[in-house]
Amino acid sequence: MSGGGHPTARAEEVAKFDRLAARWWDPEGPMAPLHRMNPVRIGWIVERLARSHGRDPAAPQALRGLAVLDVGCGAGLASEALARRGAAVTGLDAAGEALEVARAHAVAEGLAITYRAGTPEALPPQESGRFDAVLALEVVEHVAERAAFLRHLARLARPGGGLVVLSTLNRTPRAFLLAKLGAEYVLRWLPPGTHDWRMFVTPAELGAELRAAGLRVTDIAGMTLDPLRGTFRITRDVGVNYLLAAQR
């Protein structure tokens, strides 16, 4: 689904995540890595977004009234976590079956989240600059024409301080061993074929593309897996999973 330019969604990737829709909210299912990762990545995002608006990140409703666009939201793991902190969340995805699961789950949880089918380039001009934060979490390694995708994210962020936050995988030998071979073929955390290592992106490459899109990179952090606890924590090690924030 696209408009105003080349489509950034790859049909095979959309189909792949639609097939996983029914088990998206199973913490021990194929989305187990996202369930383990979600608390630390949401904490990192809330801290930066709240502080950019002069708020206490520890406040239960630290994001009250802030408009957040969750691009590639899937069945809503990040969208729901941010809505619980008070954000006015719009979830956007090209995977229709995942969105149906997202809508049903939000209703069951009593959360008011707007879910929309599509891709960022398809959003109309009146949406430009509307969002205090635009997120694409575990998405850029799956899109077509990454530089164009980032330009569309930048367009949607609020001028004069809107944040674009990404989380993705570094293209390193260690990421290939851990996030590709380890997660898909050894631990079986993800279905084989979930990732294409050639689509992983280094922080330097991503930073250059964000700057070309008119954004200023403000922060970067690694997300490192604790193998004993099976949970992630924020570190300086960006060799496998990392978060990056940029400001418009």
User: How do residues 106-125 score in pLDDT, each as one tens digit?
Assistant: 999 999 999 999 999 999 99
Kindly report, residue by residue over 67-85, the tens digit of the pLDDT. 999 999 999 999 999 999 9
Work out the average pLDDT over 147-154.
97
10 is in an annotated binding site: no
Res 187: pLDDT = 54
51 or 197, which is more confident?
51
Res 13: pLDDT = 73
226 is in an annotated binding site: no
93 is in an annotated binding site: yes
34 is in an annotated binding site: no
Confidence of residue 186 (pLDDT cuts 50, 70, 90): very low
- Say what the pTM is: 0.91
CA–CA gap between residue 19 and residue 246 (Å, rounded): 32
Q: Which two tokens stand for residue 205?
A: 């490459």
Distances, alpha carbon 79 to alpha carbons 76, 93, 119, 150, in Å: 5, 12, 16, 20
Kindly report, residue by residue over 128-140, the tens digit of the pLDDT. 999 999 999 999 9
Is 123:2 a contact under the CB 8 Å cutoff?
no
CATH superfamily label, 11-247: Vaccinia Virus protein VP39 (3.40.50.150)
Work out the average pLDDT over 49-54.
97
Res 182: pLDDT = 55
Kindly report, residue by residue over 194-246, the tens digit of the pLDDT. 667 678 899 999 999 999 999 999 999 999 988 778 789 999 999 999 999 99
Work out the average pLDDT over 51-78.
97
Is 243:223 a contact under the CB 8 Å cutoff?
yes
Phi, psi of 96 (to 5 degrees): -65, -40
Look over the chain and give the mean of its residue pLDDT values, rounded to a whole number.
Answer: 90
Is 217:244 a contact under the CB 8 Å cutoff?
yes
Res 27: pLDDT = 93
pLDDT at 95 over 70: yes
Percent of the chain as helix, strand, coil, to the nearest 5: 40, 20, 40
